[in-house]
Chain A
């Protein structure tokens, strides 16, 4: 089997699928040309993520990593969500095939992009170094 049971579980029954019309922060990473886009919506109260939803266009592991990442940050303070790494998402899913690791990078970046959007929307000060690195997808396919 290509994927672990956990990946298949999150793919088959993805947690937190959907949109939040009154989101405080929205992050979208990836592009359709490369075959995966993740969009994460955050509802934030104080400095806690009270609700999170995602929409993903992509392969099984893209959907599973989105689902797992949203589950890992729901109810958590922003400071903790910002520390979410792709490695932690992969571990929580009991691993991903090597060619699918980039999906987990996308999930980490989508969470960060949504938090940055929240900071920008509310005029909160932040250390730009937290969000450097940019999209991992820029050089991933031809054209």
Chain B
């Protein structure tokens, strides 16, 4: 039996999401924009999905916009906020050094167009400090964008505190909640956000569909021009089967979310404790303020891609922030942002579990991983130098 421990990359579709999609594909083939009965039936299904998702997030249905996923939602929010604020002469963005590339690259593009950005430190624990957000805000700040939980190290950010600061200063606030939605309770009112992005396939929904929550007062400018769908904010015939699947998946994930989070966190902690018994291993990101299913560690003296290949052969699907797995030459920007040196960041392993994993799987991983690490260390000249005292350990 294989162990799937890469749920932050994507999740297996749930039975409820699959059934909802198939039923829409089979029976609700009309276009929601059409006046005839088939069309109106589709419009009803669309509205119901919008209401269900709004219920899960604590907002009203007219604040929910359907997009192709997290990246589109993030890009739309950032571009909209900046366009709006620019009319008032504001051209500065506050964000963090370890955002998802959907945010970082969108902001880099704006910087190339003359906007300014401040990238806040996320410190060794992988958590941004609200007082530093406050200090970074200037007269000309257009937008603050801070992710809810980091996609690699799972650390949860103090979003409601940042939300209060932004509301006081009347600055638009966006959060990329792609990793958090369906795993921790989200209430947009409590969070004080103007924009929130989520993606269905991270909580057992289908791929290629996501949500952008935009508060009523927050403007949205379309990235794609065309029809009048989504109140003229996002053109294109709605992907109704995927939307229905997403709504079913989110409803399912949100019901009993606290119990699930509790059970998954217990498995996570067992796995972390097991892995930290391996000498010269360190946990990346705060141990407490982290997503229920996220485990991310660095092993000194080995490289992540070879670790992943070996784990895959032994039946474990995982991920790493090593440069070799990304196709770029540098290791994960997230691990560098929390101060891990390059040579340590190359030896990272991310295991992301959820409610479909079992205690037995955790035990199996705690048994397999130390053996694989040992095998790779045995053939590593870096490890040899460390053991012989020719170099000093970075991880004690």
In this complex, what residue of A is CB-closest to B327?
A: A99
A26 to chain B, nearest CB (A): 10
Quick one: CB contact mask for B305-337 with A, threshold 8 Å, 1 for yes? 110010001000000001111010111000000
Q: A118 on the interface (CB 8 Å rule)?
A: no
A19 to chain B, nearest CB (A): 7
Q: A131 on the interface (CB 8 Å rule)?
A: no
Q: B380 on the interface (CB 8 Å rule)?
A: yes
Q: How large is the interface on B (under 10, 10 to 19, 20 to 34, 35 or more residues)?
A: 20 to 34
Known: A55-B380, A63-B379. A35 touches B303 (CB 8 A): yes
- Complex Cα distance, B341 from A39, in Å, reads 22
- Note all chain A residues with C-beta closer than 8 A to B325: 59
Known: A35-B322, A63-B306, A99-B327. A55 touches B343 (CB 8 A): no
- Note all chain A residues with C-beta closer than 8 A to B330: 141-142
In this complex, what residue of A is CB-closest to B377?
A: A57
- Note all chain A residues with C-beta closer than 8 A to B381: 28, 37-39, 55-57
Q: Could you tell me how many residues of chain A have their Cβ less than 8 Å away from some Cβ of chain B?
A: 30
- Note all chain A residues with C-beta closer than 8 A to B382: 32, 37, 57
Q: A14 on the interface (CB 8 Å rule)?
A: yes
B302 contacts A57, C-beta separation under 8 Å: yes
B331 contacts A35, C-beta separation under 8 Å: yes
- Complex Cα distance, B330 from A37, in Å, reads 15
Quick one: CB contact mask for A1-14 with B, threshold 8 Å, 1 for yes? 00000001001101
B71 to chain A, nearest CB (A): 23
- Complex Cα distance, B329 from A19, in Å, reads 28
Contact of A35 among B301, B309, B324 (CB under 8 A): B324
A99 to chain B, nearest CB (A): 5
A34 contacts B329, C-beta separation under 8 Å: yes
- Complex Cα distance, B382 from A14, in Å, reads 18
A141 contacts B323, C-beta separation under 8 Å: yes
- Complex Cα distance, B340 from A32, in Å, reads 13
Of A8, A35, A38, A60, most B-chain CB atoms within 10 Å: A35
Contact of A11 among B304, B306, B341 (CB under 8 A): B306
- Complex Cα distance, B327 from A70, in Å, reads 26
Contact of B329 among A8, A11, A54, A141 (CB under 8 A): A141
B342 contacts A58, C-beta separation under 8 Å: no
Contact of B384 among A14, A19, A99 (CB under 8 A): A19
B234 to chain A, nearest CB (A): 35
Quick one: CB contact mask for B353-387 with A, threshold 8 Å, 1 for yes? 00000000000000000000000001111111000
B329 contacts A57, C-beta separation under 8 Å: no
B229 to chain A, nearest CB (A): 39
- Complex Cα distance, B379 from A56, in Å, reads 6
Of A54, A55, A58, A60, most B-chain CB atoms within 10 Å: A58
B327 contacts A36, C-beta separation under 8 Å: no
Contact of A57 among B323, B331, B380 (CB under 8 A): B380
A56 contacts B380, C-beta separation under 8 Å: yes
- Note all chain B residues with C-beta closer than 8 A to A35: 303, 322-324, 331, 342-343, 346
Known: A11-B306, A33-B343, A35-B303. A59 touches B380 (CB 8 A): no
Report which B residues bind A (CB closer than 8 A).
Answer: 301-306, 309, 313, 322-325, 327, 329-331, 341-343, 346, 378-384
Closest 4 CB pairs of A and B: A32-B343, A59-B305, A59-B324, A39-B381
Report which A residues bind B (CB closer than 8 A).
Answer: 8, 11-12, 14, 17-19, 28, 32-39, 54-60, 62-63, 99, 140-143
